[in-house]
Amino acid sequence: MNKTLPARLVPAALTLTALTVGVASAQQSAQRQMTPEMQARMKAMQPVTDLAQTVRLLPDLEKNKATALTRAQATQLLPILTTLQKAAAVQPNDAKKYLTQIEDRILTARQLTALDGLFLKAEKEREAQRGQRQNAQGQGGGNRPAGQGAGRPDQNGQGGQPGQFNPFKQDRLADGLKAYVALLKKK
Please tell me whether residue 4 adopts helix, strand or coil conformation: helix
pLDDT at res. 163: 59
pLDDT at res. 120: 95
Rounded to the nearest 10°, the torsion over CA 34, 37, 43, 44 is -150
Please tell me whether residue 106 adopts helix, strand or coil conformation: helix
Count how many residues are written for the chain.
187
pLDDT at res. 116: 96
pLDDT at res. 137: 76
Radius of gyration of the chain (CA): 23
DSSP for 25-84 reads HHHHHHHHPPPHHHHHHHHHHHHHHHHHHHHHHGGGGGGSTTTSPPHHHHHHHHHHHHHH
Judging by beta carbons within 10 Å of its beta carbon (0-12, 13-18, 19+), is residue 101 exposed, middle or buried? middle
pTM of the predicted protein model: 0.68
pLDDT at res. 150: 36
pLDDT at res. 135: 82
pLDDT at res. 153: 39
Contact 159, 165 (CB under 8 A): yes
Measured CA angle at 143 (ends 137, 148), to 5 deg: 140
pLDDT at res. 5: 46
Mean pLDDT by 10 residues, the chain (187 residues): 48 44 49 84 93 96 96 98 95 96 98 96 91 78 43 41 79 94 96
pLDDT at res. 155: 39
DSSP assignment, residue 172? H
